[in-house]
Structure 1
Amino acid sequence: MSKKAIIIGSGIAGISASIRLATKGYEVDVFEANSYPGGKLSEIEIAGYRFDAGPSLFTLPDQVEELFRIAGKNPNDFFEYIKLPVACHYFWEDGKKLNAYADIDRFAKEVQEVLGEPAGSIKIALQKSSFIYEHLSPLFMHRSLHKWETWTNPEALKSYLKMGKLGIFSTMNEANEKLFNNPKLVQLFNRYATYNGSNPYETPATLNIIPHLEFNIGAFFPKKGMHDITLSLFQLSKDLGVTYFFNQKVEEIIVENKIATGIKTSNETKYADLIINNMDMVNAYKTILRKQKQPKLLLNQPKSSSALIFYWGINRTFQELDLHNIFFSDNYLEEFDHIFKKGSIYHDPTVYVNITSVYKPDDAPKDCMNWFTMINVPNNQGQDWDKLIAEARKNILHKLNRILKTDIEPLIEVEEILDPRKIEIKTSSAQGALYGNSSNNKFSAFLRHANYSSKIKNLYFCGGSVHPGGGIPLCLLSSKIMCEMI
């Protein structure tokens, strides 16, 4: 008789876990409070415009392909993507524009021509990023930090001798100021801290691992949009026999004699051999694990930043814009002080505009564009969000108008807004934080919940709020690490 597993939450890590467990012979049930799978990796459709609702950058596609392969499928038959020729277009208030080409030689040349920074600086920075990845990814991305064997294997021992070169003892900003002469390039590389909701002036320089993913390996785009990651893996899991229960909010994880044995919903009680939590760790302990001993040190850690997103249907095309576009603040330090110290939004925020219709024209009507317009904001601490959103919207429009030399407001045909309050409600993310606990100190990697419970047998964890962290690749890796323990 096959063993049973229950997964709470159908975020991308939960779907991935269901696939891995099904291929191990488990009978898998997934309970989801929403009416749809994917968590943050979902989509919105408004009056002929389609938007990927959440994560917009796709790196490490091999983590998606691996799930098809372990199921005995050819990934190319189910999921297609392209490598981007340009990772991002960057804009500054003084009129400077920079294309971050995927071809590193071309990118280095562009940096030298536009910013006057020696081309060699880019190559050195990406070599350092590759070095960090080579020595830290086996530890922090592919293994549990909470198992003794992680720290005693040969790869770990080799990395200990390199600790001084891995950025553990300096901040990201300090490391980047040593690498580059031009403040704009420092700002560009500091931006990678936002990929896990961190502050580049506080987070350790180990996060300079991220440019390696985007440049040395590459940035990609699924041909059917980011939501196709969810849909293709969701279909794969169902083909493997996984059963989904939507609009089924789990009310409690049943624990008997320190063993997780099942779950309770408003409708039923179900038992299983394994219980996997893909819900935000903090909210899980406050709700479905409220009767259990609380890991207060982890629960009380500062949370990552959140996001304010305007989904705009724009009745015009802009040839100077690409899939990924950044309009930088003139005072990056002050912007992050507002986010992490003042709990507010700076009047000159850095604006990110993602436009999937550049590569997928049917995401917008003819001669139109779908703008996913986002700024980084603090997590929800009870601020007057209606006031903050109104001010931010005005400041974002002014900024875009100045740099693009146009008037955006009359071009907006449709609009929907996602703020930290809605993020918390829709995804059960504590305080609407996008990446769980903050990574703004050198010990942050150790202040994430393990992929298993040390107190309750047969209870496991996956997703962006636990090890190794947030973002699509790390969420997929969290399910892999977890399943390798079972």
Structure 2
Amino acid sequence: MTKKALIIGSGIAGIAASIRLAIKGYHVEVFEANSYPGGKLSEIEIEGYRFDAGPSLFTLPEQVDELFRLADKRPEDYFVYKKLELTCQYFWEDGTSLKAYADLDRFAEEVQTKLGEPASSIRDSLRQSAFIYDSLAPLFMNRSLHKLDTWTNPQALKSYMKMGKLGIFSTMNEANRKQFSHPKLVQLFNRYATYNGSNPFETPATLNIIPHLEFNIGAFFPKKGMHDITQSLYKLSLELGVKYHFGHKVEKIWVENGEAKGIRVKGKDEFADLVVNNMDMVNAYKTILKEEKQPKLLLKQPKSSSALIFYWGIKRDFPELDLHNIFFSDNYSLEFEHIFKRGTIYDDPTIYVNITSTHKSDDAPAGCMNWFTMINVPNNQGQDWDKMIEEAKRNILHKLNRILRTDVESLIEVEEILDPRAIESKTSSAQGALYGNSSNNKFAAFLRHANYSSSIKNLYFCGGSVHPGGGIPLCLLSAKIMSEMIEE
């Protein structure tokens, strides 16, 4: 008799989980409160402009390809991407600009020419990043931290011998200050803490693992945009027989005698052999699991930062801009103090502008550009967001005007705004935090919810709020770890 699995939420991890379970022979049904799949990995269309609504950086594409191969499909028949030659452009108020080329030698030469930093500093830093990745990825990214065999397998034993070299006992900022002599390069590499919503002045230097993904392995761009990750995997899941129920908000996970039996949705009970929760872990326990034992320590953990995004249709082309562009704050430590200590937005924020029309011309009308303009902000703690958004927009425009020597506001043809309140309401992310719990201490990796419930049999978890963390690659890996547990 075919076993049945119910998945709550169709974020990218939920879709990946549905594919993996369908391949294992389960009858899979997915229940999604929204009218569309993908969660944060969705898109917005406004008067001829298309925007990827959420995640904008694509690394480790093999995690997507693997799902097609597991289903005996050719990935290129569904999903096509290219490696970027230029991973990011960086701009500062004093007129300094830097191109982070994918070619390591070219990037090292750029740093030496523009900043006077020895090219060897870049090579040494990325060699250390690769070392951290090779030492920890098999342990932290590909296995559950909540199973004994993770800690007793040969790979783990090798990692124990390297602990002093993995950055666990220093902060990212401390490590980068030792590595680089130029403060702008320290700032550039500190930025990688924001990839999981953390503070480089507090998060362990272990997070210097992240540049390895972008430089040593590569950054990529899906030729149809980031939303195509969702669309291609959604299409695959449908071909495998997965059934989706959109506009169906789950009201409760049924638990009897310590075992998940199914869910309640729209007043109707749906029963199954197992239940997979892809909803934010914190909000899941507050709502659909509120009658069950609460993991109080995990629920009390500080949350990651959030984002304020302006989707701007710009009626002009800026040839000096590329896909990924960063306009740095002059005082990075004060910016993070505002985000994590004061719960406010610094008046000189670092601005990220993602422009997919530079690689996908039909994302904007001819001669125009689609600017996904984002700053890191605190999660929602009841602040006066309307006032903060108004002030932030004014500061963002003034900063862009100074650096680009133009009047950006006069070029904005269309606008839509996404703030922490809307992020929470649209994606059920607690407090609008983009990555669940923050990673601002050395124990953060151990303070993420497991991919299974230790107290409720046949209840599993995947997504950015549980192990191994937020971001597309880790969300996909969470589905992989979860499905392997079910097999065991």
Q: TM-score, normalised by structure 2?
A: 0.99
Residue equivalent to 2:180? 180
2:198 alignment partner AA: S
Residue equivalent to 1:83? 83
2:15 alignment partner AA: I
Write out the 4+ residue segments of structure 1 that deviate beyond 6 Å after TM superposition: none
Q: Secondary structure at the match of 1:394?
A: helix
1:393, 1:121 → 2: CA distance? Answer: 36
2:368 alignment partner AA: C
Residue equivalent to 1:42? 42
1:224, 1:148 → 2: CA distance? Answer: 42
1:195, 1:235 → 2: CA distance? Answer: 28
Matched, 1:386 2:406: no
1:291 alignment partner AA: E
Q: TM-score, normalised by structure 1?
A: 1.00
Deviation of 1:266 after TM superposition, in Å, equals 1.5
1:396 alignment partner AA: I
Residue equivalent to 1:147? 147
1:19, 1:133 → 2: CA distance? Answer: 27
1:2, 1:235 → 2: CA distance? Answer: 22
2:206, 2:17 → 1: CA distance? Answer: 28
1:208, 1:391 → 2: CA distance? Answer: 33
Deviation of 1:355 after TM superposition, in Å, equals 0.1
Q: Which runs of 5+ in 1 are unaligned?
A: none
2:127, 2:231 → 1: CA distance? Answer: 35
Residue equivalent to 2:237? 237
Q: Secondary structure at the match of 1:401?
A: helix
Residue equivalent to 2:134? 134
1:369, 1:350 → 2: CA distance? Answer: 20
Residue equivalent to 1:356? 356
Residue equivalent to 2:470? 470
1:302, 1:296 → 2: CA distance? Answer: 12
Matched, 1:93 2:131: no
Deviation of 1:142 after TM superposition, in Å, equals 0.1
Matched residues, number: 486
Deviation of 1:268 after TM superposition, in Å, equals 1.4
2:463, 2:120 → 1: CA distance? Answer: 38
Q: Secondary structure at the match of 1:479?
A: helix
Structure 1 residues 201-246: Cα deviation after superposition (integer angstroms, max 9, x where no partner): 0000000000000000000000000000000000000000000000
1:2, 1:216 → 2: CA distance? Answer: 44
Structure 1 residues 284-312: Cα deviation after superposition (integer angstroms, max 9, x where no partner): 00000000010010001000000000000
Structure 1 residues 306-331: Cα deviation after superposition (integer angstroms, max 9, x where no partner): 00000000000000000000000000
Matched, 1:338 2:338: yes
Structure 1 residues 133-158: Cα deviation after superposition (integer angstroms, max 9, x where no partner): 00000111000000000000000000
Deviation of 1:267 after TM superposition, in Å, equals 4.0
1:95 alignment partner AA: G
2:376 alignment partner AA: N
1:457 alignment partner AA: K
1:457, 1:407 → 2: CA distance? Answer: 59
Q: How does 1:3-152 map to 2 (within 5 A)?
A: 3-152=3-152
1:116, 1:320 → 2: CA distance? Answer: 23
2:164 alignment partner AA: G
Structure 1 residues 242-271: Cα deviation after superposition (integer angstroms, max 9, x where no partner): 000000000000000000000001241100
2:65 alignment partner AA: E
Q: How does 1:72-471 map to 2 (within 5 A)?
A: 72-471=72-471
1:413, 1:390 → 2: CA distance? Answer: 18
1:438, 1:214 → 2: CA distance? Answer: 21
2:419, 2:169 → 1: CA distance? Answer: 34
1:426 alignment partner AA: K
Identity %: 79
Q: Secondary structure at the match of 2:435?
A: coil
2:400, 2:141 → 1: CA distance? Answer: 37
2:140, 2:323 → 1: CA distance? Answer: 30
1:31 alignment partner AA: F
1:482, 1:127 → 2: CA distance? Answer: 31
RMSD: 0.3
